[in-house]
Amino acid sequence: MRKDRSVIVILLAAAAFYAVARASSPWGHGQDGRATSRRGDQQLLDAYYQDYNTRVERHIYKKTPQGELAIHIHFPKDWTAQDKRPAIVFFFGGGWTGGTIEQFTRQAHYLASRGMVAARADYRVRSRHQTTPEVCVEDAKSAVRWLRKNAAKFGIDPDRIVASGGSAGGHIAACTSTVTGLDAEGEDTGISCRPNLLILYNPVLNCADEQIALRMGSTDMANRLSPNLHLSKDMPPAIVFYGTEDRFYSQGKEFLQLSKELGNKVELYAAGLQPHGFFNRSPWHQQTTFLVDKFLARHGYLAGEPALKLGEKDITLKRIAAEQKEGERPSPPPKRLRPPRRRKPRDNEPGLKVGQLAPDFKLPPLVIQTGADGQSVGIIESVGYAGFCIPTRARLPVCTAYPTIVKTSFRGKKPVCLIFSPDQVGDLRFGPRPGPWKTCTCRTRTKFSFSWCTSPRPIRTG
C-alpha cells in the first residue's frame, strides 16, 4: 500500500512539472499555457474578431458539370470600385474530400477591415461532387484567374493578388504558382492564374506519400501535384505555418530549403507540440493572423501596424531558418513516387489479350463491396503484368460480368486484381470509397491507383 502511494505521488509530481514546463515554454498552448474547449475556443475567437466584420457579397466565379461555384468577397468600409487594392483569396481545407467555405471567414473579415479585398472561394471536393484532387487545383486556378479578370469591377490591383489556404486548401493555393496545365476548358489562359504572394497554413507540399497518393489517383498525378517537385526561381514570396507535431511539417522545411537555394523568399513558422490544423484554435489563430499582417505590410499590401490586440512579445510561434549554408552542396531533390516494376510474363504463361479467356480458366469466388446506392469498387489488372487499380461507380452486373473477366490474382484467399475488357473499362466511373480498405500497390499505364475493399457481407460471383 505504501509503495502504491509513493508511485502515485511521483506520477502527480511529474504531471505537475510537465504542466508548468509547457506553460512557461515558448512552445506552450498560449500566453498562460492553458488550452480551451473547442466550443469555448470558437466563442472566444468570435468575440475577439467581432470588431472586424465587413460587408460580404456572393458571386458565381465558375460553372461546372457538378454545379456552380461561389466566391464570397469581403470589402473594406471605405471601398470604391475605382480603388486598386490588394486582394487575397482563401481556400478551405478538408483533404480534397470535404470542408467548408466558412473556415477562413474571420481572417477575411480582418484583412478586409485592414484595407484588402478578401475572398473565400468554394471548389469541388469528392464528398459533394465526386471529383479528384486535380479538379480542386483546376478550380483554384480558375478562382485566381477570375479575380484578376474582374479586378477593375472589384477595385483590385491585378498585380497584388494573394493565394492562401489551409491543408488541402494550402496545397491547391501553392499549386496555382507551381503546377502547369490543369486549366479549365474555355478559360482565357492569357490571364495569369499565378498569385503574387502565398500564405499557406500546414499545406501538403509533396504528395509522395502512400495515403496521399491514393487520393491523387496515381503516382504520376501525385508527382504532378507536388509543389516541392516544381519549384522555380520565379516563385512568389511565401509565409508558411506548421505545428511541429504535423506529419507534413518536414515538407514545409523541405520547401524552405529548396526555396532558399533557388533564391526565393520564404518564411516558415512553427508552433511547438501542435498538430495539423492548429491555426484554427486560439491563441494560434490570432498569432498566425498577426504574422500574416506583418508579412503583407513588408510587401506593401498593408500599411501601419496590425489592428490585433497583440504585440511581438505575445508571439510564441518560432521562425525556422533554412539549414543550408552558402558554399555547401545543394540539397537532394525531393522524393518522387515511382511505379513498381512490371513483371515479365513467364515462358509458360499464355499470351492472352484483354477480353480473352484462357482455355482452362475457372473464375474463383470473388469478394467485392457495394454501397447503399448499388455502387461498387473493383481492381483491374493488365494480363501478365503488374496491375493498376480503378475506383468505379459501375453497377454490380457490369463489374462482375463473367465472360469478360480474363484473369484473377490472389493473395491467400483474397482476390487482388481483375481484368475487364476495354468496353467495360470505358464504362467505369470515379466514385466514393465505402471502406473498410486495404492498401493496394497496383499501378501501370492508365494512371489510376486505388484500394481493394472487403465487405462483412461478401457477394460471391461466378
CA distances, 259 to each of 193, 295, 334 (Å): 20, 17, 12
pLDDT tens, position by position, 442-454: 333 333 333 333 3
Say what the pLDDT of residue 309 is: 84
Domain boundary among 320, 350, 372: 320
Asked whether residue 326 is domain-assigned, the answer is: no
Asked whether residue 400 is domain-assigned, the answer is: yes
Together in a domain, 291 and 381: no
Cα 11 to chain centroid, rounded: 40
Say what the pLDDT of residue 218 is: 84
Domain total in the chain: 2
Together in a domain, 108 and 233: yes
Together in a domain, 249 and 371: no
Together in a domain, 312 and 354: no
Strand (E) positions, 244-353?
A: 266-271, 318-320
Cell 515554454 belongs to residue: 25
Calpha distance 253→316 (Å, rounded) = 19
HSE-up (13 A, CA, CB side) for residue 423: 5
CATH code for the domain of 277: 3.40.50.1820
Asked whether residue 20 is domain-assigned, the answer is: no
Asked whether residue 19 is domain-assigned, the answer is: no
Quickly list H helices, 130-184.
Answer: 133-149, 168-178
- Identify the domain containing residue 201 by its residue range: 26-320
The helix or strand, by DSSP H or E, that contains position 377, with its residue range, turns out to be strand 376-380
Cα 41 to chain centroid, rounded: 25
Say what the pLDDT of residue 326 is: 54
Calpha distance 378→3 (Å, rounded) = 59
Together in a domain, 208 and 277: yes
Calpha distance 23→29 (Å, rounded) = 7
Together in a domain, 294 and 423: no
Together in a domain, 185 and 242: yes
Per-residue buried b or exposed e for 286-309, using 16+ beta carbons within 10 Å of the residue's own CB:
bbbbbbbbbbbeebebbeeebebe
Taking 70 as the pLDDT cut, the residues of the chain under it are 1-11, 13-38, 324-331, 335, 337-462
Strands 414-418 and 408-411: antiparallel
Together in a domain, 55 and 183: yes
Asked whether residue 439 is domain-assigned, the answer is: yes
Domain boundary among 288, 320, 352: 320
Q: Answer whether 388's CB lies under 8 Å from 381's CB.
A: yes
3-state secondary structure of 437: strand
Asked whether residue 353 is domain-assigned, the answer is: yes
Together in a domain, 309 and 381: no
Together in a domain, 295 and 366: no
Together in a domain, 243 and 379: no
Asked whether residue 13 is domain-assigned, the answer is: no
Asked whether residue 286 is domain-assigned, the answer is: yes
Together in a domain, 224 and 294: yes
